């Protein structure tokens, strides 16, 4: 999702592209540039404290072109905090101890990583690509018995149809975040009711084979999650064992919970940043916030623009201070625009730790000349350092029309999603022997972005790693 913040009719528009040195359409190694904000809105903090709570806020008023235009979302915040006794509590039984709960941060040492990451198994693979008609419950054997290198090329089979569709009366479910905990898969996602603003949905089920009949509810029925909220990210923080739900509102914010299945347990919204600064005299607008931590530091990644330049940004805080301490007056530019259209660097960034390896994978979406979404990949050994291209071209991408089969139902290609992870903690660790990616795909084109219909599907890695 991308957009230009406006009240009601205004929006975020992010046509983000990469302008690091290199041939056109190809990204070469990019030096991180730090900009210190020089202009901060004098009333930023005050406006956060006195923001108007309106349930009729308009979001995502962006118009989408079927070819080279970029899907966008407008972000107008209306956070209602009134308590409602009618909110549905769907708390999942947590009486049974779950070996998938991650309580220790992941060491970069291979042996320590293996020990810390045996908690949450990834469910077994299926040749269908959908993993819905075979044994898809979590594998009882450890997924950390074997490690695989980060592949230089990827091949995927998509679920032949959407796996999760919108709730009745809604037109879209998108931007999924997914964990396996306490015997169930828990998914939070952006929801778009037909006659209301963007909010959050919750889906849970024990087996991917039964996902079509999974219970789905509006998480926004919790009065503390009402108002504009989108693009969630879910993880359990190892230093306090709390579950964190990160989301844009429109600035980065979070709620906490003791159990991800207790929709009514989410706390009041708190901000990760109180404002987004100005760079070079231009105000930053941001979306799709993503948190990942190493042993010492937590990083916040997000997409945005300052003026006509489109970037992927990063800020950080000591891990011992999380969720506090993110510096909104010090923002790193990780990647920036290269193509004039901005279509080769858009939004929906994900960042992951590679299981058993001292390296990280960054995914960010792009748009090809035919209007199809695809994901580019970058690699680093240091979350606070520079990112080098890995599988970053349309012909050799993380996921694109050239290496994904069976996704004909996704009219705009592979859009915003998240990996199935090897654990639930803030390290965001993935096992590259067992890659699967839950993504959003457009099923019906509307008159504009707000009227596009989206559902969720899954990509399954079809490479023969010999360790699946």
The confidence band for 197, taking pLDDT boundaries of 50, 70 and 90, is confident
94 pLDDT exceeds 90?
no
117 pLDDT exceeds 90?
no
pTM of this structure: 0.73
Phi-psi region of 133 (alpha: psi -120 to 50; beta: other; left: phi over 0): alpha
> For position 246, what pLDDT does the model report?
98
Cα dihedral 186→467→365→420 (10° resolution): 10
> For position 256, what pLDDT does the model report?
98
Nearest to 17, CA basis, from 283, 312, 289: 312
> d(Cα 431, Cα 109) in Å, to the nearest integer?
15
Averaged pLDDT for residues 180-209: 94
> d(Cα 29, Cα 210) in Å, to the nearest integer?
44
The residue ranges of every structural domain in the chain are: 4-461
Q: Does domain 4-461 have CATH number 3.30.460.20?
A: no
77 pLDDT exceeds 80?
no
SS3 for 134-182, per residue?
A: CCCCECCCCCCCCCCCCCCCCCEEECCCCCECCCCCEEEEEEEEEEEEC
Residues 398, 303, 350, 33, CA torsion sign:
positive
**Locate tokens 């778009």: which residue?**
192
> For position 418, what pLDDT does the model report?
98
143 pLDDT exceeds 70?
no
> For position 195, what pLDDT does the model report?
78
Q: What is the DSSP letter of 392?
A: B
């Amino acid at each position: 999702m991308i957009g230009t913040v406006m009240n009601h009719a205004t929006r975020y528009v992010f046509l983000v592209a990469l302008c690091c040195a290199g041939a056109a359409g190809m990204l070469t190694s990019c030096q991180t540039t730090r900009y210190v904000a020089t202009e901060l809105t004098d009333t930023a903090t005050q406006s956060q404290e006195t923001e108007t709570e309106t349930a009729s806020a308009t979001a995502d008023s962006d118009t989408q072109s079927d070819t080279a235009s970029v899907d966008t979302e407008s972000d107008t915040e209306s956070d209602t905090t009134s308590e409602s006794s009618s909110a549905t509590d769907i708390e999942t039984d947590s009486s049974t101890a779950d070996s998938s709960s991650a309580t220790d941060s992941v060491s970069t040492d291979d042996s320590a990583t293996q020990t810390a990451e045996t908690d949450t198994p990834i469910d077994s693979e299926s040749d269908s690509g959908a993993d819905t008609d075979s044994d898809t419950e979590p594998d009882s054997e450890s997924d950390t018995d074997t490690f695989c290198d980060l592949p230089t090329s990827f091949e995927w089979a998509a679920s032949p149809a959407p796996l999760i569709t919108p709730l009745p009366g809604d037109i879209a479910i998108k931007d999924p975040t997914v964990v396996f905990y306490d015997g169930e898969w828990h998914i939070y996602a952006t929801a778009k009711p037909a006659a209301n603003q963007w909010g959050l949905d919750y889906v849970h089920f024990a087996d991917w084979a039964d996902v079509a009949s999974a219970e789905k509810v509006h998480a926004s029925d919790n009065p503390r999650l009402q108002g504009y909220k989108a693009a969630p990210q879910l993880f359990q923080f190892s230093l306090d064992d709390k579950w964190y739900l990160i989301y844009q509102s429109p600035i980065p914010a979070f709620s906490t919970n003791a159990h991800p299945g207790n929709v009514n347990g989410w706390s009041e919204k708190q901000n990760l940043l109180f404002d987004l600064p100005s760079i070079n005299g231009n105000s930053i607008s941001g979306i799709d916030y993503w948190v990942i931590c190493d042993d010492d530091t937590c990083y916040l990644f997000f997409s945005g623009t300052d003026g006509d330049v489109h970037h992927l940004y990063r800020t950080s805080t000591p891990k011992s201070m999380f969720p506090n301490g993110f510096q909104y007056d010090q923002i790193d530019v990780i990647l920036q625009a290269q193509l004039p259209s901005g279509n080769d660097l858009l939004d929906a960034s994900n960042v992951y730790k590679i299981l058993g390896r001292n390296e990280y994978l960054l995914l960010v979406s792009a748009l090809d000349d035919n209007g199809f979404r695809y994901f580019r990949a970058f690699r680093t050994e240091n979350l606070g350092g520079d990112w080098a291209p890995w599988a970053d071209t349309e012909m050799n991408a993380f996921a694109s029309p050239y290496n994904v089969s069976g996704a004909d139902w996704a009219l705009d290609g592979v859009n915003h999603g998240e990996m199935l992870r090897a654990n639930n903690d803030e390290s965001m660790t993935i096992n590259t022997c067992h890659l699967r990616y839950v993504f959003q795909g457009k099923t019906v084109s509307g008159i504009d972005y707000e009227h596009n219909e989206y559902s969720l599907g899954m990509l399954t890695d079809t490479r023969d790693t010999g360790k699946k």
